[in-house]
Amino acid sequence: MNRRYLLLLLQSLQLMNINFNKNEDRNKLLLAELRKRFLKVKLGGGAAKIKNQQNKGKLTARERINYLLDTNARAIEIGAFAGYEMYSKHGGCPSAGVIVKIGYISGRQCIVVANDATVKAGAWFPITAKKNLRAQEIAIENKLPIIYLVDSAGVYLPMQDEIFPDKEHFGRIFRNNATMSSMGITQISAIMGSCVAGGAYLPIMSDEAIIVDKTASIFLAGSYLVKAAIGENIDNESLGGATTHCEISGVTDYKARSDKDALDKIKRIIDKIGIGENAGFNRTSSIEPKKNPDEIYGILPYSRADKYDSYDIITRLVDNSEFEEYKADFGKTIITGYARIEGWAVGIVANQRKLVKTKSGEMQFGGVIYNDSADKATRFIANCNQKKIPLVFLQDVTGFMVGSKSEHNGIIKDGAKMVSAVSNSVVPKFTIIIGNSYGAGNYAMCGKAYDPRLIIAWPTAELAVMSGSSASKVLLQIEKASLEKQGQKITEQQELEILSNIKEKYEAQISPYYSAARLWTDAIIDPLETRNWLSMGIEAANNAPIEKKFNLGVIQV
């Protein structure tokens, strides 16, 4: 009996090791693909255009940011995959034609926005406006100084109707400039190339503006348009160059000899900014996780439908692998508790992905939100708001439980309570999409619509109303019904072909790259970078004192 038991145990351990190795290989392949795609994105408009810009004595957008940020200091890039595989008929728009990073300048955390002139001369596509607005949103929420490195031809005219007149379009950026100024948020602009038409307002609505001599210009209309409009003959340098605006119009504040000289001036300005109040979030010394974070690659399963124990992920993300669980024996498909990440106190709300057993002996599906787990999460979120503890949501959720039992127990009511708590939370929220992010589960676990300060995806993430398999079957039935109404008889082979086409299209849309391209997430990252992102995000949030009180509003209890 003992020998048989030992043999079964050995076989089980061998199977676990095989699965771990398969998961690890798969996840490292996904990570390699992420790095490969990012290297391509970093080229912007391509090597030839980069060389052309350098030949003009100008730095590229990435070179400008790297020079501006403190050497060897940490930095994170927002929206690197924005615009990814979009606008193909217009030649594409890598990184939305603008680079955004949060980093340190003279020791001060800032956000930097740099037009990439190698992408359509820095012209603004619809996604460019969205990305700039996201950068300003981060600055506003966290009261971070924001630096604009301007080198742009203005609105991309073939798509002007999708960028010009609406509330969240181009003009909103200048409205935000004015709002941030009234809030006392530092804005500094360096004009380092072309700056025309409506885009000219951005640097001049900043607190201070620097212009680079000979290579930069700023005007509402360039020389060709001036000639066409009023018949005046004038060159661009005389019309709106550094000498004109520093010595005649007074529009700009500083003249710089070169890109580096302009960036050095920014460093000196930032160095002298005073320190304001902070939010007072609790921080102690950082301690590395006791459990090896590298093991995350082997824990995350090959298939999004497979189960795993979410505690194994949590203990590899938090300081010293210490997790103080709240209501451990209740509502087990959501895990809640307190921990530290790089010394910062956090409240963690995570979906449990393994099957769990209730006290009554009922089995509950991992990744599904049940009545009791929604109730627990609501109470925990309220507690974190009471204690001024930032919230971290670890998403791997398929949605809320359905069926007569859940409906009769009021799953809609309990789900609404959780959504209300997330919506009205006043402490900063951070969302990590580990795996599935489906339907209302995305909302309850603080999806993009619920204002997380940062929302980040791992390469294993999938965002959609439902899984590819489920959605494909639903869409197939709709397609079949439509064809049959037209009198067409569908063979089994045709049905398989329709299903395959639907599934291929749908699965492309649930890819983390599809989401990142549209800025539904701020980044796709290596899971081992998660602690760094959360730490920098909480540090940024700590610049902004909490001014509202937590109030759930009217909900059915």
- In this prediction, residue 490 carries a pLDDT of 75
Counting residues of the chain whose pLDDT is more than 90, the rounded percentage is 71
Mean pLDDT computed over 78-90:
96
Q: How confident is the model at residue 201 (pLDDT cuts 50, 70, 90)?
A: confident
- In this prediction, residue 8 carries a pLDDT of 66
DSSP string, 230-254: H-----HHHHHSHHIIIIIS---SE
Q: Say if residue 555's pLDDT is above 80.
A: no
Q: How confident is the model at residue 331 (pLDDT cuts 50, 70, 90)?
A: very high
Q: Say if residue 193's pLDDT is above 60.
A: yes
- In this prediction, residue 244 carries a pLDDT of 92
Range scoring the smallest mean pLDDT among 7-21, 28-42, 143-157, 525-539: 7-21
- In this prediction, residue 276 carries a pLDDT of 87
- In this prediction, residue 472 carries a pLDDT of 66
pLDDT tens digits, residue range 107-118?
999 999 999 999
pLDDT tens digits, residue range 493-503?
877 777 777 77
- In this prediction, residue 471 carries a pLDDT of 65
Q: How far apart are CA 423 and CA 214, in angstroms?
A: 50
Range scoring the smallest mean pLDDT among 23-32, 77-86, 349-358, 468-477: 468-477
Q: How far apart are CA 457 and CA 396, in angstroms?
A: 11
- In this prediction, residue 338 carries a pLDDT of 98
Q: Say if residue 235's pLDDT is above 90.
A: no
pLDDT tens digits, residue range 312-323?
999 999 999 999
Say which residue the tokens 């610049």 belong to: 543
Kindly give, in sequence order, each residue whose CB lies less than 8 Å from that of residue 144, ignoring residues fewer than 6 positions away: 102, 109, 110, 111, 138, 185, 540, 543
pLDDT tens digits, residue range 140-163?
999 999 999 999 988 888 888 888
* 105: its two tokens: 């300048």
Helical (H) or strand (E) element with 80: none
Q: How far apart are CA 430 and CA 320, in angstroms?
A: 21
- In this prediction, residue 146 carries a pLDDT of 98
Q: How confident is the model at residue 99 (pLDDT cuts 50, 70, 90)?
A: very high
Q: Say if residue 1's pLDDT is above 60.
A: no
Q: How far apart are CA 244 and CA 285, in angstroms?
A: 52
Counting residues of the chain whose pLDDT is more than 70, the rounded percentage is 94
- In this prediction, residue 10 carries a pLDDT of 64
CB atoms within 10 A of CB 410: 15
Give yes or no for a contact between 331 and 376, defined as CB atoms under 8 angstroms apart. Answer: yes
Average pLDDT, the chain: 91
Better-scored residue on pLDDT, 337 or 468:
337
Q: How confident is the model at residue 327 (pLDDT cuts 50, 70, 90)?
A: very high
Say which residue the tokens 């009996």 belong to: 1
Q: Say if residue 479's pLDDT is above 80.
A: no
Q: Say if residue 557's pLDDT is above 60.
A: no
Please state whether 377 falls in left (phi above 0), alpha (psi between -120 and 50) or beta: alpha
Give SS3 for 278: coil
pLDDT tens digits, residue range 504-523?
777 788 899 999 999 999 99
Mean pLDDT computed over 24-49:
96
Q: Say if residue 392's pLDDT is above 90.
A: yes
Please state whether 75 falls in left (phi above 0), alpha (psi between -120 and 50) or beta: beta
Better-scored residue on pLDDT, 235 or 396:
396
- In this prediction, residue 131 carries a pLDDT of 97
- In this prediction, residue 280 carries a pLDDT of 96
Q: How confident is the model at residue 9 (pLDDT cuts 50, 70, 90)?
A: low
User: pTM of the entire structure?
Assistant: 0.93
Mean pLDDT computed over 181-189:
96
